[in-house]
Amino acid sequence: MEGRARSGPALSHLGSTAVEQLVGREAESQAVRAALAGPAPVAVVLEGDAGIGKSALWEAGISEAAARGMRVLAARPVEAETGLSHAALGDLLGAVVDELPGDFPAPQRSALEVALLRKTADAGSLDPRAVGAATLGALRAAAGGAPVLIAVDDIQWLDPASAAAMRFALRRLDGGEPVRLLATRRTQPGAAPLDTGLAHARLTRIAVGPLGSEAVRRMLGSRLGSGDGPRALERVAEVSGGNPYFALELARAASRKERAPAGGAELPLPDEISAILEDRLGELPRETRTALGIVAAMGHPTIMSAAETVDPGVLDPAFEAGILHEAGDAIRFDHPLLAEAAYRMLAPSKRRAAHERLAATASDPEGRARHLAAASTARDASVATAIERGAEAAAERGAPVAAAELLEFSARLEPDPDTAARRRITAVGHHMIAGDGERAAELGRALVDELPPGPLRSRALTAMAEQEGNLTKRIAETEQAVSEAGEDREALVMALLWHAVLLVYAGRHDEGWAAVLRARKLCGPEQPSALQAMTSTIHGYLAYLRGDPDALELVREAASLRGDDLLPTGWSATVILGRILMCADELDEARPILEGQHRKAVELGQDESRDAVSLFLAELEMRAGRLQSARPYAEDRVGASAMLAAYEGNVELAREIAGRGLADSEAADDAIVAAAHRTVLGFVELSLGNDEATLRHFGPTLELFLAGDGGDPGLRHNIIIPDAIESLIALCRTDEAERALGAWERAGKLYDRPRMHATAARCRALMAAAEGDVTGAIGTAELALEHHRDLPVPFERARTLIVLGALHRRAKRKAAARAALEEALAILEQIGVPLWAERARAELRRIGGRAQADGLTPTEQRVADLVAEGRSNKQVAGELFVSVRTVEANLTRVYAKLGIRSRTELAATRQASDGRSRSPVSQPAPPS
């Protein structure tokens, strides 16, 4: 029961009182125990009205966790603390930080120390995602010693910075990591759905409802030893609505009268619970009530801070009445509702006076700023500046919500309109960092509407355009921002850069290119280094999207500039360099670059950057034929998860994800993202052999490519051009196929990439076969295989092998056909691409017969020969580019067909046959 007196902070060592209070809560208690005993990570949230008994269940859950050997990290935030950045995080992780191992990453340790006010931030703002990454690391470190229970009472009062850090950490916990969350949450009309960070399947919500009349009577008897008659207790149960805290307060109010009402008389009790609370507080001396309101205004009072603000003796009646309790060094109200009532009972003038006094004694800029904001009603430049300093302190500690709120307070109190507008523009950025796009848009739109045309409105327009939304609208905003920047060179360059990016996303490459060239010309050495680096980076990036063969060198140059490390990781030239190398199929060079940047983004807690790099790494690993390696990166990226589903043959899932993504991107006029989703949809149809449907999806990309507006041929939506050509050939649309193939071959000469040479030759082989020249087609397909030697993309090699095997079959070369198709099947099975593996099997079935009298297929023969030579299964798998499981399956079939049981017998059998079968096409190198 939430209204119980608490004697100290050691919440994991509760006496029998908590157990006694769980009257009528047997089902809820069992649900908590079951959830805590289940697999981690898991979140258990007790939900119900204020005072309904959530805290008692929470405390019992903590006792259960302690009995199971879990380490409890507890926090009990209150509403007044929601403006104090990382207040709850300090409660949860204060002891953990002291125990962090010596090899704990220095950036994460520093982020925690700054967030928890243990040290001053270095220059610049502390990224809130760095605090999230550090929180994750600290929880994992704590869980290394014992399972961890994060216990939060009244989770709705978590300050936004602590809540963001906790969500960030819980979202990234792997299955089985021994971390659990037990929280209580007050139900409130219109409250947003609770986001704990864990997947919905790992969230257990337990509704804590009203107690029945009998349970209320038993609870009151346990707590108060009430001797009131049954009717009086029945009325208490009725008026309280089964809320234990309200029932206790009602019973206490009745007991304060001279005598309890008898029989059926009405209880002499207040009508509303707020009146009940005020009635309880009204029993205290006036000076005590005033002091209680001041203590409530403090938000996070301690014995020392309260003594500095009010006369400690004045609070004694509140302690004696059980309204206040000491919890270690802290002071806690018996229930948050009491703190709210005490604060609201202060007259407005006394509230402001209290905050003014608290501002004078506050030890940190953010706390002082918050009290100043609550105390001030008139414009005052010095006060506004002090609040701005508090906002800067909040930003440095990775608390963008607090920073944005304080900047808005500062702007309201600032007498100078331009200074106020600049602070509001900065607040827009903090709202965006915090993920509150709705507030950022609302504030940005107000600025755009209020400000006169000029540099300040230019900055506001650019800030608006940086947010997600319809591209056409955002392009218009950046166009207006460019026109209004005037002599503000920095504002103009930023507006031009975003204008350029958005134009290219909309497919208007020439206009975007002109804008970025203008920005580069204007961005001189006097501009901030981060802006210079961003300008060079976007110049190279758009050159790459434009299809400029010099883009790689432009980005290499940008990556070497001072200031590249000041940009968000996802927008750094280093990441774009890795992406361009990946698109050029330089996978071995791109992988360590992107992995390093991914680690950096994770360590710094940069969610958006991490997601962007994850998308590139997912694509890289899919190109490399390593779908399992791609999976962790693809999980949070719609486009990547759709393509992964398509590779794995999950047709309906791929269609559903990509279809939804296509609709969203088309609604936003985002041509590049729309093309990526069409790529997935077209690839699904290609995999199913639906050539007409394939071309419906690939058609827009093919038209852009033929018009010269497709951009770099290695972009994920452009590498389907050969696929479109194959579908055209299959549909006997040879004139269209010839035009597209000619363009692809010309691009291949310009870029000189193995993929382009290999896929062009494969298409040429299909064209020759369509014209009846099977012999010439075989020669061209074998030439394609030569190009595959330099292409670390096994899926494309397997597809060429299928084409070659089919051509050999048409030429009646059964052994060569079988060998090529068996090799293709082995590659496709190894990758895990079932629809294409079935294509290879279908071609094999068309051949018929067996290659050898002993009944072994070519793959079985190769496995048998290598095992007979003494190779291990792992060595055979590496040489044949298949999995160990595939080797084992083939070996089992070999034993059965040859009637043998051991590797020794196999060696003897193969030596007797003295025949090793080899594929007429070279084997691929094993994956790196």
- Residue 922 pLDDT greater than 60, yes or no: no
- Residue 235 pLDDT greater than 80, yes or no: no
pLDDT value for 441? 81
Mean predicted confidence (pLDDT) in 425-451: 81
pLDDT value for 705? 92
Q: Are 762 and 786 in contact (CB under 8 A)?
A: no
- Report residue 651's pLDDT band, with 50, 70 and 90 as the boundaries: very high
107-121, 143-157, 911-925: range with lowest mean pLDDT: 911-925
Mean predicted confidence (pLDDT) in 857-883: 78
Q: Are 182 and 150 in contact (CB under 8 A)?
A: yes
Q: What is the pLDDT of residues 292-349, one digit of tens each?
A: 988 888 877 888 888 888 888 899 999 988 889 888 888 888 766 677 778 878 888 8
Instruction: Report the DSSP beta bridge partners of residue 882.
Output: none
Average pLDDT of the chain, as a whole number: 83
- Report residue 493's pLDDT band, with 50, 70 and 90 as the boundaries: very high
Mean predicted confidence (pLDDT) in 821-832: 92
pLDDT value for 171? 85
192-206, 736-750, 899-913: range with lowest mean pLDDT: 899-913
Higher-pLDDT residue of 213, 463: 463
Higher-pLDDT residue of 379, 200: 379
Q: Residues 696, 702, 703, 707: what is their CA dihedral angle, to the nearest 10 degrees?
A: 180
| DSSP per position, 612-654 | HHHHHHHHHHHHTT-HHHHHHHHTT-HHHHHHHHHHTT-HHHH
Q: How far apart are CA 876 and CA 350, in angstroms?
A: 83
388-392, 454-458, 536-540, 571-575: range with lowest mean pLDDT: 571-575
At residue 492, the 3 state secondary structure works out as helix
pLDDT value for 11? 23
Higher-pLDDT residue of 846, 9: 846
- Residue 58 pLDDT greater than 70, yes or no: yes
pLDDT value for 53? 84
- Residue 1 pLDDT greater than 60, yes or no: no
Mean predicted confidence (pLDDT) in 483-511: 91
**pTM exceeds 0.95 for this model:** no
Query: What percent of the chain has a predicted confidence (pLDDT) above 70?
Result: 86
Mean predicted confidence (pLDDT) in 59-63: 91
Q: Who's near 281: CB < 8 A, 6+ residues apart?
A: 289, 292, 323, 338, 341, 342, 345
pLDDT value for 336? 61
Label residue 763 exposed, middle or buried (CB < 10 Å: 0-12, 13-18, 19+).
buried
Q: What is the pLDDT of residues 405-425, one digit of tens each?
A: 899 999 999 999 999 999 998
pLDDT value for 591? 95
Mean predicted confidence (pLDDT) in 587-601: 91
